[in-house]
Amino acid sequence: MLPVYPMAQTFFITTAIDYTNAAPHIGHAYEKILTDVVARYHRLKGEPVFFLTGVDQHGQKVQQTAQKQGMEPAAFARDITAKFLALWEKLGLSNDGWAATTDPLHKAVVSKILQQLFDAGEIYKASYSGFYSVRQEQFLTDKERGPDGEFGPEWGEVTDISEENYYFRLAKHRDWLLSYIDAHPGYVTPAFRQTELRNAVEKLSGDLCISRPKARLEWGIELPFDAGYVTYVWFDALVNYISFGGYWSGETPHNPAFDERWPALHVIGKDIMAPAHGVYWPIILHAAGFTDAEIPPLLVHGYINIGGAKMSKSLGNIVDPAVLAEKYGPGALRYYLMREAVTGQDMEFSEERLVVRYNSDLANDLGNLLNRTLNMAKRYRASVLKRVDPADPWLAEARAVAEQYAARMDQFQVHAALEAAFGLAAKCNAYIEAQAPWKLAKDPALADQLDGVLYRLAEALRILSILISPVLPDAARGMAAQLNVTAEPCLAGALNAEAALADGHTLGAPTPLFPRIETEPKA
């Protein structure tokens, strides 16, 4: 009988691990920020979270690029890895683990899985001759030929080779995967990608070549059962999710630390869903004895495009996120990407839009709201608030926004959650205009009304400081400090009336939180 594993108690979330054959670009940054925001949101809900990201350091692309630069692959991968690490730090990623595939811990787990699958007869040796794409590191079949019968430019240099290799029995598990997909409608988010994946699985035929002869590729993890070969980079890379998740971290593959986390939610781009994450990976896990309940769900995001096209070196349209974060601050970049990208869909990147979003939403709507509220409270009430009954309909509506925000975040609809939050900021700004506190302050008979307005605004700002915290952690801290709120931000603090500011609460001093970005006038 199969062992029964307890349900994961930790929210385990991963990103794709990025190839170290080139420096990071805005697409990599988008995926990491999205994952960071979801991880931070789950922490805000009070859940234990394990957020893992990292780098994919092996493979032919890394070896080739290193060679071109006259470097050893290890040194080259180390340099690029340092660039990723510096960027993630700059962008404020809150990852708990770091998956670098040259780590001996990872290599040991890859070896163990390979040996286990080999012993179980899931891996076999066979000879194959055919066309091989150096760029994509895979053998090509007629399916990959274009309408003109040729292999398109996306495959790069294509050579005819014949060699012995090791194969993983993928096709044998095809029907299991189809039935798994059919029985688990929420396996892939968004749902249309699950349909796309199912179609890809239906077409699946043949097994997966999981080795590369050392004569051709040295930069990889040696097969435990044949020192003449290294492991195919995708097999190596996918295993990062379990090796850095604690699999085999004890005497046995499964152990309490791993079982408490697994399965993870994998956040990946649309290009690596089929076949890598949606075909190879569930089948590898299934063949290694993972139960259906342990197959990791996928959150598939779209592409960040530039000028309607994919970013590429040859087009010269690569956007460097480190430059943007330096120029505008990490918060501006995080907010722009999260506010404008619809999870699952492609987005067109525009630096101009980044500036517009920052100035209109952060500097004008939220920043000014905080500043005006604190200034008015200081001027009219020495910053001391008089509590309004939390059952007050205006406050109830503010809390309802937090509920809407949470429902959207639970569905990974970060842009829609932010839309809800900034709707509350707009409501506050309209409320100030309608109530005109500067007029109320002139009439002592309206003192209670003025107290009510100031309290409602401060309370809405407290809720907003919580709601923006996954996307803008630094600004959220700054807001809380100015509001003189010391409690650690938590979602319950935005949803529950009991968490409302106390009677007599004293607000802090206002300082501009989001100074406007003054753009250079266009020529």
DSSP calls for 417-467: HHHHHHHHHHHHHHHHHHH-HHHHTT-GGGHHHHHHHHHHHHHHHHHHHHH
Please name which of 244, 233, 239, 310 lies closest in space to residue 271, comparing C-alpha atoms. Answer: 310
Out of 12, 30, 168, 235, point to the residue binding ligand MSP (CB under 6 A).
Answer: 30
Does residue 311 bind ligand MSP (CB under 6 A)?
yes
Please name which of 328, 480, 468 lies closest in space to residue 402, comparing C-alpha atoms. Answer: 468
- Cβ of residue 352: shortest distance to ligand MSP, in angstroms? 19
Here the tokens at position 345 are 């869909």
Decide whether 110 or 237 has the Cβ nearer to ligand MSP.
237
Out of 8, 17, 362, 450, point to the residue binding ligand MSP (CB under 6 A).
Answer: 17
Does residue 36 bind ligand MSP (CB under 6 A)?
no
- Cβ of residue 216: shortest distance to ligand MSP, in angstroms? 19
Q: Are 141 and 130 in contact (CB under 8 A)?
A: yes
Out of 264, 268, 283, 440, point to the residue binding ligand MSP (CB under 6 A).
Answer: 268
Q: Are 453 and 440 in contact (CB under 8 A)?
A: yes
CB atoms within 10 A of CB 135: 14
Out of 33, 52, 56, 248, point to the residue binding ligand MSP (CB under 6 A).
Answer: 56
- Specify the DSSP class assigned to residue 101: T
Q: What does the alpha-carbon distance between residue 237 and residue 278 come to, in Å, rounded to a whole number?
A: 14
Out of 150, 154, 164, 271, point to the residue binding ligand MSP (CB under 6 A).
Answer: 271
Three-class secondary structure of residue 4 per DSSP: coil
Q: What does the alpha-carbon distance between residue 339 and residue 331 come to, in Å, rounded to a whole number?
A: 12
Out of 8, 16, 425, 507, point to the residue binding ligand MSP (CB under 6 A).
Answer: 16
What is the contact mask toward ligand MSP in residues 225 to 254, using x (rule: CB under 6 A)?
A: ------------xx-x--------------
Decide whether 238 or 458 has the Cβ nearer to ligand MSP.
238
- Cβ of residue 171: shortest distance to ligand MSP, in angstroms? 22
Out of 269, 367, 437, 489, point to the residue binding ligand MSP (CB under 6 A).
Answer: 269
Does residue 31 bind ligand MSP (CB under 6 A)?
yes
| Cross-strand bridge partners of residue 167 | 124, 209
Does residue 304 bind ligand MSP (CB under 6 A)?
yes
CB atoms within 10 A of CB 486: 7
Decide whether 189 or 482 has the Cβ nearer to ligand MSP.
189
Helices (H) and strands (E) counted in the chain, each on its own, are 20, 16
CB atoms within 10 A of CB 86: 12
Does residue 278 bind ligand MSP (CB under 6 A)?
no
Decide whether 307 or 515 has the Cβ nearer to ligand MSP.
307
Q: Are 81 and 210 in contact (CB under 8 A)?
A: no
| Longest distance between any two alpha carbons in the chain, whole Å | 92
Q: What does the alpha-carbon distance between residue 275 and residue 209 come to, in Å, rounded to a whole number?
A: 13
- Cβ of residue 304: shortest distance to ligand MSP, in angstroms? 4
- Cβ of residue 243: shortest distance to ligand MSP, in angstroms? 11
The piece of 212-220, 268-276, 418-426, 452-460 that touches ligand MSP (CB under 6 A) is 268-276
Query: Within 13 Å of residue 380, how many CA atoms lie on the same side as its CB?
Result: 27
Q: What does the alpha-carbon distance between residue 334 and residue 344 come to, in Å, rounded to a whole number?
A: 17
Does residue 29 bind ligand MSP (CB under 6 A)?
no
Here the tokens at position 135 are 């760029």
Q: Are 489 and 465 in contact (CB under 8 A)?
A: yes
Decide whether 234 or 514 has the Cβ nearer to ligand MSP.
234
Number of residues that bind ligand MSP (CB under 6 A): 19
Residue 121 CA: distances (Å) to CA of 107, 125, 167, 169, 230? 21, 10, 10, 9, 19
C-alpha Rg value of the chain to the nearest Å: 27
Does residue 210 bind ligand MSP (CB under 6 A)?
no
Out of 11, 13, 18, 73, point to the residue binding ligand MSP (CB under 6 A).
Answer: 18
Does residue 221 bind ligand MSP (CB under 6 A)?
no
- Applying CB under 6 A, the residues found at the interface with ligand MSP are 16-19, 27-28, 30-31, 56, 237-238, 240, 268-269, 271-272, 303-304, 311
